[in-house]
Amino acid sequence: MSAVAAAPAPLALPRPPLARLTHIELRKATDTRAGFWLLLVIVLATAVVPIVRMALGDEDKRTLLEAFSVAQLPAAILLPVLAILSVTSEWSQRTALTTFALVTQRSRIVAAKLLAALALSLAAVVLSLVFAAIGDVIGSAAFDANGSWSLPVSALGEAFVYQALGMIGGAAFGMVFLASAPAIVLFYVLPTVWGILGEVIPGLDGPSRWLDMGQSTTPLQEFDMSGIAWARLGTSALLWVALPLAVGLVRILRSEVS
């Protein structure tokens, strides 16, 4: 009687490290036509805004700190769109099936996307600082700026928090809706509507200080944070960042991929 050869056991492939997944997510977010043009617009706007501020701002505001503050705005406004697209494109282009087949733990993909968003936030802060310094030099030479180079270290941390909240919030909205159009529209419209209601309805004025991201991030963008400002920022971030992130994580982990 001949012996039946046993079937070889399937190879146990090592799972890719999180750093490699993050690098892949960075490439997926930026190596597209939409990502390229969006990043190009952000870079150009970040380069122009500090110079315009130096040319048109008050003389006592023509400083590196002020240039760095306004240089944050283009990335803070536009970069969350890239975070949204990095999530929703997986579902609209039907690449999520391949992604989750190669990495079966969906939570690791989500973690890689969030780490990629944080990496882009850090890059935005560095880019803003570089162009702010260039703007300060040009302002000193051409626009009679005072040329102050004073920049507290805390401003760099606050700038990173400012950018990171927008990026994580954008990714969270993308995870909730898994479609680009509603995620982008509602990411910008819902906080704006809430801010308007807080302005026009007297009874909402108090809660709006704690739940309106527009108000709570203003001191952060101006590097004027205090204890109460951090408390308001944390409260509003729970509503507009943490809550959508939790809902989106549940949806990604439970959604059927087709």
Q: What is the SS3 string spanning 89-134?
A: HHHHCCCHHHHHHHCCCHHHHHHHHHHHHHHHHHHHHHHHHHHHHH
Calculate the alpha carbon distances from 202 to 10, 190, 197, 199, 249 in Å.
66, 19, 9, 7, 35
Mean pLDDT of 69-76: 93
pLDDT at position 136 = 83
Q: Which helix (H) or strand (E) holds 239?
A: none
Domain assignment of residue 150, yes or no:
yes
**pLDDT of residue 252 exceeding 50:** yes
Residue type, 211: L
| Confidence bin at 1 (pLDDT 50/70/90) | very low
Count of structural domains, the chain: 1
Domain assignment of residue 34, yes or no:
yes
Query: What are the pLDDT digits (tens) for 6-25?
Result: 555 455 557 789 999 999 99
| Confidence bin at 5 (pLDDT 50/70/90) | low
Query: What are the pLDDT digits (tens) for 156-207?
Result: 999 999 999 999 999 999 999 999 999 999 999 999 898 888 888 888 878 8
Domain assignment of residue 3, yes or no:
no
Domain assignment of residue 35, yes or no:
yes
Q: Which of 76, 98, 86, 74 is nearest to 32 (CA)?
A: 86
Query: What are the pLDDT digits (tens) for 213-233?
Result: 988 999 998 888 888 999 999
Query: What are the pLDDT digits (tens) for 27-71?
Result: 988 888 888 999 999 999 999 999 888 888 777 777 888 889 999
- What does the alpha-carbon distance between residue 86 and residue 135 come to, in Å, rounded to a whole number? 31
Domain assignment of residue 7, yes or no:
no
Domain assignment of residue 153, yes or no:
yes
Domain assignment of residue 9, yes or no:
no
Segments forming the whole domain that contains residue 172:
18-254
Domain assignment of residue 72, yes or no:
yes
